[in-house]
Amino acid sequence: MKVLSVVGNRPQFVKSAPLSVALRDHGIEEIVLHTGQHYDPELSQVFFDELGLPEPRYRLDLHTAEPAPMRAGIRSAIAAESPDTVLVFGDTNSTLAGALAANDTGVPQAHVEAGLRSGDLEMPEERNRIEVDRMAAILFAPDEHAGQTLAAEGVPGRREVVGDVMLDATLRLAPVAKRRSHVLDALGLEPRAYVATTVHREANAVPERLERILAGLSRVDDPVVFPIHPRTRKTLDDAGLEVPPNVRLLRPLGYLDFTALASQARVIATDSGGLQKEAYWHGVPCVTLRDTTEWTETVRARANILVGHDPTAIAGAVSSARMPDERPELYGDGQASERIAEVLVTLRP
């Protein structure tokens, strides 16, 4: 059996790592296609190097987030390889392009992380999730809630609740990160004595919102460490926004260094969906710089608070954030990749 895995951004590289191992263990041939949606070396090649992912057979190197050129390139790869299944991950434009290309060519598409909804249709990621799920032949949901969402929407694909492949990666790689990374020493940081921040969502990478987020972070007593996404850096520079004295901007970090930084923070403040989950698994309270989240269980568990871009709310939430004494196991048991591979094996021609 042959699958074509479409990846294009940081979370997709991470999610695909444990799944690549499981596919190989089950005798499934995997061909990796990198769309080039993240083309900064610190946000792409570093993951292949650090995580030991199979080198992509196809690199589109498009340096764009537009789905149309990615769709055409993926369609060409499908024609050349004749895979049995196209695997797409998450909710990015690379995800949508892979799903559309599979649909164009009549190859079944499997969506890893299906059924997530934030309820915010202004987010392009939300629209991507809905469209991809409607086209998927197999929907790999991270939990029962996501599976129920798919059932309620009446999507035609086969639903499988498997857990979250990101948890698989976190359980395997977080201990490695702590052993191998020296990022805290290099930055002069003490564990649990700083705030780790990321901002990359399209809605926040605009001058008005970014300025308000920085204003909120400026009121935090802790040092704030901010590995800055290229899109956010461009907004910051183009608008001439002032960075508060307690906020330390860094270049994007490799996965192991970033994981070591995030897992030992006192608080994580982010607009990333994946990092909300990782914070929960690391036992670090999360402040989400959005008004909605697809990971609602972390909010119900009181481990995550939504603050949007209000400076006062950001400062207050970061200052008071604490993990609850007891928290439920969320998003599986670390065996999602194995379950996905087992399902795919049943489709062997």
pLDDT in tens, 61-110: 887 789 999 999 999 999 999 999 999 999 999 999 999 999 999 999 99
The answer to whether 10 and 47 are in contact (CB under 8 A) is: yes
- Contact between residue 127 and residue 119 where contact means Cβ atoms under 8 Å apart: no
Q: Determine, yes or no, domain membership for 23.
A: yes
55 close to 47: Cβ distance less than 8 angstroms: no
Unique residue bearing structure tokens 């906020």: 247
Q: Considering the domain boundaries, does residue 7 fall inside one?
A: yes
111 shares its domain with 252: no
Residues 231 and 144 in one domain: no
Active site residues: 200
Residue 46: its pLDDT value, please?
Answer: 61
How large is the angle between the packed helices 124-135 and 144-153, nearest 10 degrees? 70
> Range of 32's domain?
2-164+333-345
Say whether both 223 and 339 belong to one domain: no
Q: Are residues 190 and 287 in the same domain?
A: yes
User: How many CA atoms lie within 13 Å of 50's alpha carbon, on the beta-carbon side?
Assistant: 25
Residue 328 lies in a domain: no
245 and 159 within one domain: no
In a domain, 9, yes or no: yes
pLDDT in tens, 290-311: 999 999 999 999 999 999 999 9
Does 339 lie in the same domain as 212? no
* Phi, then psi, of 147 in degrees rounded to 5: -60, -40
- Same domain? 25 vs 56: yes
- The answer on 141 and 119 residing in a single domain is yes
Predicted TM-score of the model (pTM): 0.87
Same domain, 179 and 157: no
Residue 326 lies inside a defined structural domain of this protein: no
**pLDDT class for 42, splitting at 50, 70, 90?**
low
Which of the pair, 349 or 337, is modelled with greater confidence? 337
Q: Are residues 309 and 248 in the same domain?
A: yes
Q: In 10 A of CB 69, how many CB atoms?
A: 15
Domains in the chain: how many in total? 2
pLDDT tens by residue, 316-335: 999 999 999 999 999 999 99
How many residues does this entry show for the chain? 349
Nearest to 114 by CA among 128, 101, 127, 129: 129
Q: What is the pLDDT of residues 230-278, one digit of tens each?
A: 899 999 999 999 999 999 999 989 888 999 999 999 999 999 988 999 9
Are residues 150 and 141 in contact, defined by beta-carbon separation less than 8 angstroms?
yes
- Same structural domain for residues 142 and 272? no
State whether 126 and 246 are in the same domain.
Answer: no
